[in-house]
A and B are shown apart, each in its own frame.
Chain A
Amino acid sequence: TQLLEQSPQFLSIQEGENLTVYCNSSSVFSSLQWYRQEPGEGPVLLVTVVTGGEVKKLKRLTFQFGDARKDSSLHITAAQPGDTGLYLCAGARGSNYKLTFGKGTLLTVNP
């Protein structure tokens, strides 16, 4: 059973387009993180959201945590080739140190 479902699994767009990727679960998470992973490297943390309904912005990236803390979205405005990578969401439950990762969304932004 995959606790965190990410969609779409693959996304290929042109430079300048907007996109949204989703991270959904039937479970409640106390916090949720988004990571980006480039080929040959480990994931790098982009953001942590902890409050239901929270919205965080990181330049052209907007992250939202659902009101019920079961889902999250990542919206990228005016995508650039440098945004290409695997986007992973990861949730933590209660005081558990263990993160549960989704399978990721592989984004390709074509120039």
Chain B
Amino acid sequence: GAVVSQHPSWVICKSGTSVKIECRSLDFQATTMFWYRQFPKKSLMLMATSNEGSKATYEQGVEKDKFLINHASLTLSTLTVTSAHPEDSSFYICSAKTGMDTEAFFGQGTRLTVV
């Protein structure tokens, strides 16, 4: 299957700083990328959907100024957690699709810990 690489796998940052997470589709062009957040023992919570070259569509309740998403190319999307706080600590996962009705391929996930 197609490969989606997410970096970093884990990161620890100080409260108030910003953290950038990258999501790359290595062997296909991802027209759409999704960013999820997952709390322990909970299912995926969709944060936003991004299409290459356009602004991301955020789900209700997700602060777009806090979770900046950029999908500058067909192979790269980034999520920046700005002014991180301990409550932002979570497992963030990206997924990418090539078309409307295809499966989503997931990155490895990033475990963010804000101290």
| Real binding pair | no
Q: Which residues of A contact B (CB under 8 A)?
A: none
